Copies of this chain bind each other. A is one copy, B any other.
Amino acid sequence: MGVNQGGRTRRRLSTEERREQLLSVGARLFSESPYDDVWIEQVAEIAGVSRGLLYHYFPTKRDFFAAVVERESERMLRMTAAVPGVPVREQLTAGLDTYLEYVEAHAHGYRAFHRADAAGDQAVRRVYRRALAAQERQILAALAADPEFGPVLGTRPDTRIAVRGWLAFTTAVCLEWLRGSELGREQVRDLCARALLGVLSL
């Protein structure tokens, strides 16, 4: 009694702490294995907690996954907020630098986040799409505000899709980078920057 399977005495955390811990474990597991290879029991065991507790914090496994994705998307958006007033060509390099910094620092969460693209159900997808749309909006706004790009691109209908595609490009490159890392951060940054300018080529 009073002990769990690890042999340590049970610790009672605050709701916030426990929630955070569970999401953290989830991010790690979901980054390593696809959705249905992640056992709810596995999450509980690693967290040193019972299966039932997870269902106290999250209604279903999917909601749990959605929460992991949402937490990561919030963190990502917070870190990559645009700096208004600066020309796109400069802002791009700086923005990509912080983005890549985030990717390196939260590789697990980043991978888990991008699993929501194809793996999730409607609810998970909605969270994912909202995050993507926010990034997209951020970029489009920065482009529109720039005297070099704004006037030209505003009139073209494919600008939005191009930006969305570029996000997919960047994501794929980053995931590949995390995987093998045959490239340095600067190379990745320059490649992605070149890609955006190329896609929008005038």
Contacts and interface: CB of A to CB of B under 8 A. Distances in A.
Interface in A123-164: 125, 157-158, 161-162, 164
Contact of A198 (B34, B164, B182, B197): B197
A104 interface: no
Is chain A's binding surface mostly helix, strand, loop or mixed? helix
Interface stretch (A49-57, A83-91, A109-117): A109-117
Contact of A118 (B34, B165, B173, B201): B34
A75 interface: no
A99 B81 CA distance: 36
Assembly stoichiometry (copies): 2
Contacts of A120: 34
Contact of A34 (B121, B164, B170, B177): B121
A170 B161 CA distance: 10
A193 B115 CA distance: 27
B121 A119 contact: no
A158 B172 contact: no
A79 interface: no
A33 B123 CA distance: 12
B165 A195 contact: yes
Contacts of A170: 165
A74 interface: no
Contacts of A173: 161-162, 164-165, 168
28 contacts: A34-B119, A35-B36, A36-B36, A37-B121, A114-B118, A116-B118, A117-B117, A118-B118, A118-B119, A119-B119, A157-B182, A157-B187, A158-B187, A158-B191, A161-B176, A161-B188, A164-B172, A164-B176, A165-B169, A165-B170, A165-B173, A165-B195, A168-B171, A168-B173, A195-B195, A197-B198, A198-B199, A198-B201
